[in-house]
């Protein structure tokens, strides 16, 4: 049976992941760790590590997994370019599933967005609105950025040059080549994302709403189970779900 270690175990997401592991008969909880705990001390107790912490902590655990030759599932968001490069380099040595959102529903939504962008994207104004709880520190969310990346790629655009994150003071008409982002933070919203394609006379909206963190936890555990026998490489939830 696959043994999973969970970091950030005392946090809200960590507790949800542990609950998901305990409800899954294909995996078992091997070890739990919190800030300051030494991963090497429990090396013989797990096969795959699941990390939903903060970028700086994740990179430390990633380095430890490389040294221990262990697989890792990363659900942390908010990495800068240097952090992303570290993850890419680590995946040359160990198996890594890295996804801004582990939800099965969100990853199906990404597939739908790719289809919609190819069919109606060139003739529409595209806007992405996301909402999360008041404690979330990165904005836009990693999921919103991934949605924008999927849409941009389908249209042959570079998100880094076509994304618009705020319009205060802009006095020019909207450029159809851009992709707009809006962020909402408040209350206990788990996660809501809507991508709108505005056309003349009609609008298509693709929305995903999460009402429980268990959706992310279940996806992460599914990813850990899938990753266990894989060779070194960088994988995402599209690979896990065969999409």
Asked whether the predicted pLDDT for residue 171 surpasses 80, the reply is no
d(CA 193, CA 184): 10
d(CA 168, CA 199): 23
Same domain assignment for residues 36 and 116 = no
Of the chain, the percentage scoring pLDDT greater than 90 comes to 88
pTM of this structure: 0.77
136 is catalytic: yes
Same domain assignment for residues 217 and 232 = yes
Q: Is the peptide bond before 140 cis (omega within 30 degrees of 0)?
A: yes
Catalytic residue among 70, 132, 146, 208: 132
Same domain assignment for residues 10 and 94 = yes
Q: What is the pLDDT of residues 215-224, one digit of tens each?
A: 999 999 999 9
Same domain assignment for residues 28 and 119 = no
Catalytic residue among 26, 70, 92, 136: 136
CATH of the domain at 185: 3.30.360.10
Same domain assignment for residues 116 and 205 = yes
Q: How many domains does the chain have?
A: 2
Q: Read off the pLDDT of each residue in 192-206 and give the average, rounded to a whole number.
A: 98
Domain residue limits at 60:
2-98+213-240
CATH of the domain at 28: 3.40.50.720
111 is catalytic: no
Q: Which helix (H) or strand (E) holds 104?
A: helix 104-120
Instruction: Indicate the average pLDDT of the chain.
Output: 95
Helix (H, G, I), strand (E, B) or coil at 11: coil
Same domain assignment for residues 206 and 218 = no
- Partners of 4 in the β-ladder: 29, 48
Q: What is the pLDDT of residues 66-89, one digit of tens each?
A: 999 999 999 998 899 999 999 999
pLDDT band at 213 (very low <50, low <70, confident <90, very high): confident
């Amino acid at each position: 049976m696959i043994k999973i270690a969970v970091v950030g175990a005392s946090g809200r997401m960590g507790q949800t992941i542990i609950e998901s592991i305990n409800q899954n008969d294909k995996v078992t909880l091997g070890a739990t760790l919190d800030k300051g705990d030494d991963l090497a001390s429990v090396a013989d107790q797990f096969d795959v590590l699941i990390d939903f912490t903060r970028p700086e902590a994740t990179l430390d655990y990633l380095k430890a997994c490389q040294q221990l030759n262990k697989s890792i599932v990363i659900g942390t968001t908010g990495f800068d370019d240097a952090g992303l490069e570290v993850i890419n380099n680590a995946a040359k040595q160990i198996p890594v599933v890295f996804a801004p959102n582990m939800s099965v529903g969100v990853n199906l939504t990404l597939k739908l967005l790719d289809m919609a962008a190819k069919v109606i994207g060139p003739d529409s104004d595209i806007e992405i609105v996301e909402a999360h709880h008041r404690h979330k520190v990165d904005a836009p969310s990693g999921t919103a950025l991934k949605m924008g990346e999927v849409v941009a790629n389908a249209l042959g655009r570079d998100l880094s040059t076509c994304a618009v994150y705020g319009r205060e003071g802009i006095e020019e008409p909207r450029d159809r080549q851009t992709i707009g982002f809006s962020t909402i933070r408040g209350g206990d919203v788990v996660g809501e994302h809507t991508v709108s394609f505005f056309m003349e006379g009609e609008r298509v909206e693709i929305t995903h709403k999460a009402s429980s963190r268990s959706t992310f936890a279940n996806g992460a555990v599914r990813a850990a189970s899938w990753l266990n026998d894989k060779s070194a490489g960088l994988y995402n939830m599209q690979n896990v779900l065969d999409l």
